[in-house]
Amino acid sequence: GSSELAGVAALLKAGKARNVVVMVGAGISTSAGIPDFRSPKTGLYANLSRLKLPYAEAVFDIGYFRRRPEAFYTLADELYPGKFRPTVFHSFLALLERKGVLRRVFTQNIDTLEHLAGVPEDKIVWAHGSFAANHCIDCGTEMATATLKAIMDAGKIPHCARCKGLVKPDIVFFGENLPARFFELAPVDTRAADLVIVAGTSLQVHPFADLPNQVSCPRVLFNLERVGDFGRRKTDVTVLADCDTAVRELATLCGWTAELEAMWAKTAMEETKGEAEGEAEG
Protein backbone atom coordinates (compact mmCIF):
# COMPACT_ATOMS: atom_id res chain seq x y z
CA GLY A 1 0.00 0.00 0.00
CA SER A 2 0.92 3.68 0.18
CA SER A 3 2.88 3.51 3.45
CA GLU A 4 5.18 0.97 1.79
CA LEU A 5 5.33 3.16 -1.33
CA ALA A 6 6.51 6.01 0.88
CA GLY A 7 9.59 3.90 1.61
CA VAL A 8 10.23 3.49 -2.12
CA ALA A 9 9.82 7.25 -2.61
CA ALA A 10 12.29 7.87 0.20
CA LEU A 11 14.90 5.73 -1.59
CA LEU A 12 14.41 7.72 -4.78
CA LYS A 13 14.42 11.11 -3.05
CA ALA A 14 17.52 10.33 -0.97
CA GLY A 15 19.39 9.27 -4.10
CA LYS A 16 19.76 5.72 -2.74
CA ALA A 17 18.15 4.17 -5.84
CA ARG A 18 20.38 5.16 -8.74
CA ASN A 19 20.09 2.01 -10.85
CA VAL A 20 16.37 1.59 -11.30
CA VAL A 21 15.43 -1.31 -13.58
CA VAL A 22 11.85 -1.39 -14.83
CA MET A 23 10.20 -4.52 -16.27
CA VAL A 24 6.95 -3.91 -18.11
CA GLY A 25 4.20 -5.59 -20.10
CA ALA A 26 0.97 -4.79 -21.95
CA GLY A 27 -0.73 -3.37 -18.84
CA ILE A 28 1.26 -0.12 -19.07
CA SER A 29 -0.23 0.57 -22.53
CA THR A 30 -3.89 -0.35 -22.08
CA SER A 31 -4.79 3.22 -21.06
CA ALA A 32 -3.29 4.35 -24.40
CA GLY A 33 -5.97 2.26 -26.10
CA ILE A 34 -3.76 -0.70 -26.96
CA PRO A 35 -5.43 -3.96 -25.92
CA ASP A 36 -3.49 -6.36 -23.72
CA PHE A 37 -3.36 -10.02 -24.73
CA ARG A 38 -5.05 -12.04 -22.03
CA SER A 39 -7.94 -10.02 -20.59
CA PRO A 40 -11.07 -12.18 -21.04
CA LYS A 41 -13.29 -9.64 -22.85
CA THR A 42 -11.13 -6.77 -24.02
CA GLY A 43 -7.86 -8.63 -24.68
CA LEU A 44 -6.37 -9.01 -28.11
CA TYR A 45 -6.74 -12.80 -28.09
CA ALA A 46 -10.41 -12.56 -27.13
CA ASN A 47 -11.12 -10.31 -30.11
CA LEU A 48 -9.34 -12.27 -32.80
CA SER A 49 -12.31 -14.50 -33.64
CA ARG A 50 -12.82 -12.58 -36.88
CA LEU A 51 -9.43 -13.84 -38.05
CA LYS A 52 -10.64 -17.47 -37.77
CA LEU A 53 -7.48 -18.66 -36.05
CA PRO A 54 -7.05 -22.30 -34.94
CA TYR A 55 -6.01 -20.86 -31.52
CA ALA A 56 -5.37 -17.29 -30.41
CA GLU A 57 -1.58 -17.40 -30.13
CA ALA A 58 -1.34 -18.66 -33.72
CA VAL A 59 -1.27 -15.03 -34.81
CA PHE A 60 2.27 -14.86 -33.36
CA ASP A 61 3.32 -18.37 -34.38
CA ILE A 62 6.05 -18.51 -37.02
CA GLY A 63 4.75 -21.75 -38.57
CA TYR A 64 1.25 -20.32 -38.89
CA PHE A 65 2.66 -17.07 -40.27
CA ARG A 66 4.28 -18.99 -43.13
CA ARG A 67 0.95 -20.54 -44.07
CA ARG A 68 -1.27 -17.53 -43.47
CA PRO A 69 0.55 -14.21 -43.02
CA GLU A 70 -2.71 -12.21 -43.49
CA ALA A 71 -3.74 -12.89 -39.89
CA PHE A 72 -0.65 -11.21 -38.46
CA TYR A 73 -0.79 -8.34 -40.94
CA THR A 74 -4.43 -7.59 -40.13
CA LEU A 75 -3.38 -7.24 -36.52
CA ALA A 76 -0.13 -5.38 -37.27
CA ASP A 77 -2.12 -2.74 -39.09
CA GLU A 78 -4.11 -2.03 -35.90
CA LEU A 79 -1.12 -2.10 -33.56
CA TYR A 80 1.34 -0.22 -35.73
CA PRO A 81 3.26 2.50 -33.86
CA GLY A 82 2.26 6.09 -34.54
CA LYS A 83 -1.41 5.76 -33.66
CA PHE A 84 -1.07 5.89 -29.90
CA ARG A 85 -0.05 8.43 -27.28
CA PRO A 86 2.26 7.38 -24.40
CA THR A 87 0.61 7.01 -20.99
CA VAL A 88 1.43 8.70 -17.68
CA PHE A 89 3.40 5.58 -16.82
CA HIS A 90 5.54 5.95 -19.95
CA SER A 91 6.19 9.58 -19.00
CA PHE A 92 7.28 8.42 -15.53
CA LEU A 93 9.95 6.25 -17.19
CA ALA A 94 11.19 9.34 -19.04
CA LEU A 95 11.16 11.24 -15.73
CA LEU A 96 13.34 8.57 -14.07
CA GLU A 97 15.73 9.03 -16.99
CA ARG A 98 15.70 12.82 -16.53
CA LYS A 99 16.50 12.34 -12.84
CA GLY A 100 19.50 10.25 -13.87
CA VAL A 101 18.38 7.09 -12.04
CA LEU A 102 17.01 4.87 -14.83
CA ARG A 103 19.34 2.03 -15.65
CA ARG A 104 17.11 0.12 -18.06
CA VAL A 105 13.57 -0.64 -19.15
CA PHE A 106 12.95 -4.25 -20.16
CA THR A 107 9.72 -4.25 -22.11
CA GLN A 108 7.58 -7.02 -23.54
CA ASN A 109 5.69 -4.42 -25.57
CA ILE A 110 6.15 -3.84 -29.27
CA ASP A 111 4.44 -0.43 -29.33
CA THR A 112 7.70 1.57 -28.75
CA LEU A 113 5.78 4.02 -26.50
CA GLU A 114 8.67 4.03 -24.01
CA HIS A 115 10.86 5.65 -26.65
CA LEU A 116 8.10 7.98 -27.83
CA ALA A 117 7.71 9.22 -24.24
CA GLY A 118 11.38 10.21 -24.17
CA VAL A 119 13.37 7.19 -22.96
CA PRO A 120 16.53 6.91 -25.11
CA GLU A 121 16.91 3.69 -27.12
CA ASP A 122 20.07 2.62 -25.29
CA LYS A 123 18.06 2.48 -22.07
CA ILE A 124 15.42 0.16 -23.58
CA VAL A 125 15.54 -3.57 -24.15
CA TRP A 126 12.73 -4.64 -26.47
CA ALA A 127 12.65 -8.19 -25.13
CA HIS A 128 10.02 -9.29 -27.62
CA GLY A 129 11.33 -7.19 -30.49
CA SER A 130 9.54 -4.26 -32.13
CA PHE A 131 8.36 -2.77 -35.39
CA ALA A 132 11.63 -0.83 -35.68
CA ALA A 133 13.15 -3.11 -38.35
CA ASN A 134 11.91 -5.82 -40.71
CA HIS A 135 13.58 -8.89 -42.20
CA CYS A 136 12.84 -11.75 -44.58
CA ILE A 137 12.15 -14.90 -42.55
CA ASP A 138 14.01 -17.01 -45.12
CA CYS A 139 17.16 -15.18 -46.21
CA GLY A 140 17.29 -12.42 -43.58
CA THR A 141 17.40 -9.51 -46.03
CA GLU A 142 16.22 -6.29 -44.42
CA MET A 143 13.28 -4.27 -45.76
CA ALA A 144 13.00 -0.54 -45.05
CA THR A 145 10.10 0.34 -42.75
CA ALA A 146 8.73 2.88 -45.26
CA THR A 147 8.61 0.14 -47.93
CA LEU A 148 6.91 -2.34 -45.61
CA LYS A 149 4.41 0.30 -44.48
CA ALA A 150 3.54 1.23 -48.08
CA ILE A 151 2.91 -2.44 -48.93
CA MET A 152 0.79 -2.88 -45.79
CA ASP A 153 -1.18 0.31 -46.52
CA ALA A 154 -1.95 -1.07 -49.97
CA GLY A 155 -3.44 -4.13 -48.25
CA LYS A 156 -0.73 -6.46 -49.53
CA ILE A 157 1.69 -8.86 -47.82
CA PRO A 158 5.38 -7.84 -47.95
CA HIS A 159 7.68 -10.24 -49.80
CA CYS A 160 11.46 -10.14 -50.00
CA ALA A 161 12.92 -8.44 -53.07
CA ARG A 162 15.76 -10.95 -53.07
CA CYS A 163 14.21 -14.37 -52.51
CA LYS A 164 10.44 -13.68 -52.51
CA GLY A 165 10.22 -15.01 -48.93
CA LEU A 166 7.82 -13.47 -46.41
CA VAL A 167 9.00 -10.34 -44.61
CA LYS A 168 7.92 -9.54 -41.07
CA PRO A 169 8.76 -6.88 -38.49
CA ASP A 170 11.37 -7.97 -35.93
CA ILE A 171 8.74 -8.95 -33.38
CA VAL A 172 9.60 -12.14 -31.50
CA PHE A 173 7.10 -14.86 -32.39
CA PHE A 174 6.52 -18.04 -30.40
CA GLY A 175 9.30 -20.43 -31.32
CA GLU A 176 11.80 -17.64 -32.05
CA ASN A 177 14.73 -16.53 -29.90
CA LEU A 178 14.66 -13.28 -27.97
CA PRO A 179 17.10 -10.61 -29.18
CA ALA A 180 20.76 -11.13 -28.21
CA ARG A 181 20.68 -7.79 -26.39
CA PHE A 182 18.20 -9.23 -23.88
CA PHE A 183 20.61 -12.02 -22.91
CA GLU A 184 23.60 -9.65 -22.84
CA LEU A 185 21.99 -7.06 -20.56
CA ALA A 186 19.65 -9.08 -18.33
CA PRO A 187 22.36 -10.60 -16.09
CA VAL A 188 24.31 -7.33 -15.84
CA ASP A 189 21.28 -5.15 -15.11
CA THR A 190 19.64 -7.50 -12.62
CA ARG A 191 22.93 -7.61 -10.69
CA ALA A 192 23.36 -3.83 -10.70
CA ALA A 193 19.74 -2.96 -9.89
CA ASP A 194 19.09 -1.19 -6.57
CA LEU A 195 15.33 -0.84 -7.18
CA VAL A 196 13.10 -2.83 -9.51
CA ILE A 197 9.65 -1.75 -10.70
CA VAL A 198 7.53 -4.43 -12.37
CA ALA A 199 4.38 -3.13 -14.04
CA GLY A 200 1.50 -4.33 -16.18
CA THR A 201 2.69 -7.87 -16.86
CA SER A 202 1.22 -11.28 -16.11
CA LEU A 203 4.77 -12.69 -15.82
CA GLN A 204 3.68 -15.73 -17.81
CA VAL A 205 6.03 -15.59 -20.77
CA HIS A 206 9.54 -16.91 -20.20
CA PRO A 207 12.40 -16.06 -20.09
CA PHE A 208 11.12 -12.52 -19.38
CA ALA A 209 9.07 -13.76 -16.41
CA ASP A 210 12.25 -14.90 -14.63
CA LEU A 211 13.78 -11.41 -14.51
CA PRO A 212 12.23 -10.26 -11.18
CA ASN A 213 13.51 -13.42 -9.46
CA GLN A 214 17.10 -12.60 -10.40
CA VAL A 215 17.39 -9.38 -8.38
CA SER A 216 18.26 -9.01 -4.70
CA CYS A 217 17.08 -5.38 -4.29
CA PRO A 218 13.63 -4.07 -3.24
CA ARG A 219 10.91 -4.85 -5.80
CA VAL A 220 7.74 -2.90 -6.51
CA LEU A 221 4.76 -4.33 -8.38
CA PHE A 222 2.17 -2.10 -10.08
CA ASN A 223 -0.47 -4.42 -11.48
CA LEU A 224 -4.17 -5.23 -11.25
CA GLU A 225 -3.37 -8.59 -9.67
CA ARG A 226 -0.51 -10.20 -7.78
CA VAL A 227 1.84 -12.06 -10.13
CA GLY A 228 5.04 -14.08 -9.96
CA ASP A 229 6.34 -14.55 -6.42
CA PHE A 230 5.56 -11.00 -5.29
CA GLY A 231 4.85 -10.85 -1.59
CA ARG A 232 7.31 -13.61 -0.70
CA ARG A 233 10.09 -11.19 0.14
CA LYS A 234 9.94 -8.78 3.07
CA THR A 235 11.14 -5.92 0.87
CA ASP A 236 8.43 -6.43 -1.79
CA VAL A 237 5.91 -3.64 -2.29
CA THR A 238 2.71 -4.56 -4.12
CA VAL A 239 0.28 -1.92 -5.37
CA LEU A 240 -2.82 -3.49 -6.90
CA ALA A 241 -4.06 -0.67 -9.14
CA ASP A 242 -3.82 0.40 -12.74
CA CYS A 243 -0.30 1.51 -13.67
CA ASP A 244 -1.09 5.20 -14.22
CA THR A 245 -2.81 5.56 -10.83
CA ALA A 246 -0.02 3.71 -9.04
CA VAL A 247 2.75 5.72 -10.66
CA ARG A 248 1.00 9.03 -9.98
CA GLU A 249 0.88 8.05 -6.31
CA LEU A 250 4.62 7.33 -6.32
CA ALA A 251 5.34 10.63 -8.09
CA THR A 252 3.29 12.50 -5.49
CA LEU A 253 5.27 10.89 -2.67
CA CYS A 254 8.50 11.91 -4.43
CA GLY A 255 7.29 15.47 -4.93
CA TRP A 256 7.47 15.01 -8.72
CA THR A 257 3.80 15.50 -9.62
CA ALA A 258 4.13 18.81 -11.48
CA GLU A 259 7.10 17.54 -13.46
CA LEU A 260 5.40 14.26 -14.35
CA GLU A 261 2.17 15.93 -15.49
CA ALA A 262 4.11 18.49 -17.56
CA MET A 263 6.06 15.73 -19.30
CA TRP A 264 2.87 13.81 -20.00
CA ALA A 265 1.07 16.93 -21.28
CA LYS A 266 3.91 17.41 -23.75
CA THR A 267 3.18 14.03 -25.35
CA ALA A 268 -0.35 15.25 -26.13
CA MET A 269 0.92 18.37 -27.83
CA GLU A 270 3.31 16.28 -29.92
CA GLU A 271 0.43 14.00 -30.87
CA THR A 272 -1.81 16.83 -32.08
CA LYS A 273 1.16 18.46 -33.79
CA GLY A 274 1.71 15.18 -35.67
CA GLU A 275 -1.93 15.09 -36.72
CA ALA A 276 -1.76 18.70 -37.93
CA GLU A 277 1.32 17.88 -40.01
CA GLY A 278 -0.48 14.87 -41.39
CA GLU A 279 -3.40 17.06 -42.46
CA ALA A 280 -1.02 19.57 -44.02
CA GLU A 281 0.60 16.80 -46.07
CA GLY A 282 -2.78 15.28 -46.98
Q: Which of 115, 128, 135, 159 is catalytic?
A: 128
Q: Report which residue type is found at 32.
A: A
Active site includes 128? yes
Active site residues: 128
